[in-house]
Amino acid sequence: MVHKHSILDLYDCSPEIFVSISKGKKVLREACKKAKLNVVGEFGKVYPGGGYSCGLFLSESHISIHTWPELFYCAIDIFICKGKSFISEKEIIRQIKPKKINKQRILRGEYNKLEFNKWIRSNQHNEYFEAFRSENEIIRHKSKFQLIEIIKTKAFGKILFLDGDIQVATSDERIYHEQLVHPAVLAHQNPRKVLLLGGGDGGALREILRYPFIEEVTMVEIDNDVVKLCCKFLPEINEGAFESSRVNIKYMDASEYLGTNKYDVIISDLTAPSGPSLNLYNDLISKFKLSMRKDTIVSLHSGWWSNSIHNNTDIAVCNNFENVILTNKWINSFSCFWSFLVCWDHDVSTKEMLLRIKENSRNLKGVKFFLASEFLREAFMPIKYEYGRE
């Protein structure tokens, strides 16, 4: 038999509900009366801080309320085996008058093959979220800077999360890393020194090192623990790139390092910005100039491609660089198109840059997904005109 279980989180509730436990019981009784539920008993407990928990036993199961007066928050639990729970929900909300509501409804008593305790939620997007079924939690570690998690999944292989955001999956990380690295390197006429910002998983570093003429790669990563854990648990991504004599790793904030040296190519593999970090990220983009030579090429990603010409990061890039090319790639593990930008300031046309990428890609070996012809077909040229810049 299927039972209905409703969980309500009510925020910024009317102060009246917190006055006494009797008020809470009255609200529950009126809700049950409206829904034609049969009350057979009650329970309650008042706590030292002024909050209380109370509930009613029903012939259909139970209904309860738990209060936190200091937060103006109420948690409601409605579990019935028959009847219309939404009627009691509506009455409770009407009386408590919350300004914000979070509802969850669960069907109980029916076997569900989805073991929710094995699902990991990703906070990648504001409009929706992803969940990944974990076959095994490989590591869960809180570093000085962030929560680092690596899980094993059947669909996407191993996945790295930082503070709940998916960073990379072994099943399709090459799509991301090849698109991030190769256009910028191929567009430069004589790249010798490369600056990599972020990239603690080692995938971007692996792709940069495919070019034997690159003499030096400086990688700036704020979190040493990310590198250590990825070396240990995700060796199939970095393929030993961290051991190369051409690699010099600086464990520090990227914004503090920029300006220390000049580079031919700058690749930013920092976490996609969102919310409060967006302004800081945009400030960082302007600092790229401190490490640029006259002919430096910059490559970065700007996150979820949702009509990307309106993406704030893209706008910041266009405001800081004379020339910008935008492309996007579908990343299965991200469940969306992801944006990539190639930028430069020197007087070389977009057409010339695309021709360089096409010609220089002829000698590129070892890649699995990057195709110069596909890049040329997908490129927006140049996107700065979409923002009204002449």
| pLDDT score for 117 | 52
| pLDDT score for 196 | 98
| pLDDT score for 386 | 47
Q: What is the pTM of this model?
A: 0.69
pLDDT at residue 103 above 70? Answer: yes
| pLDDT score for 276 | 47
- Integer Cα distance of 95 and 81 in angstroms: 24
Mean pLDDT of 145-156: 93
- Residue range 351-380, pLDDT digits in tens: 899 999 999 998 898 998 888 888 887 776
Vertex 300 angle, CA 294 and 302, to 5°: 135
DSSP reduced 3-state for 170? coil
- Integer Cα distance of 309 and 306 in angstroms: 8
Mean pLDDT of 148-162: 94
Mean pLDDT of 46-52: 92
Structural domains in the chain? 3-108 (3.60.90.10), 116-169 (2.30.140.10), 173-387 (3.40.50.150)
According to DSSP H, which parts of 112-244 are helical?
173-187, 203-208, 224-233, 235-238
Q: For 123, list phi and psi in degrees, rounded to 5.
A: -95, 30
| pLDDT score for 379 | 78
Top-confidence range, 104-113, 191-200, 276-285, 315-324: 191-200
Set 264, 269, 314, 345: catalytic member = 269
Per the prediction, the chain carries an average pLDDT of 87
CB contact at 8 A, 258 and 290: yes
- Residue range 181-190, pLDDT digits in tens: 999 999 999 9
Is residue 269 among the annotated active site residues?
yes
CB contact at 8 A, 342 and 325: yes
CA 313 to chain centre: 15
CA 230 to chain centre: 18
356: nearest Cα among 214, 196, 185, 217: 185
Work out the pLDDT band at 131, boundaries 50, 70, 90.
confident
27: nearest Cα among 67, 69, 60: 67
- Integer Cα distance of 74 and 95 in angstroms: 12
Work out the pLDDT band at 310, boundaries 50, 70, 90.
very low
pLDDT at residue 126 above 80? Answer: no
Mean pLDDT of 49-73: 93
- Residue range 285-303, pLDDT digits in tens: 889 999 999 999 999 998 7
Mean pLDDT of 22-43: 94
| pLDDT score for 94 | 94
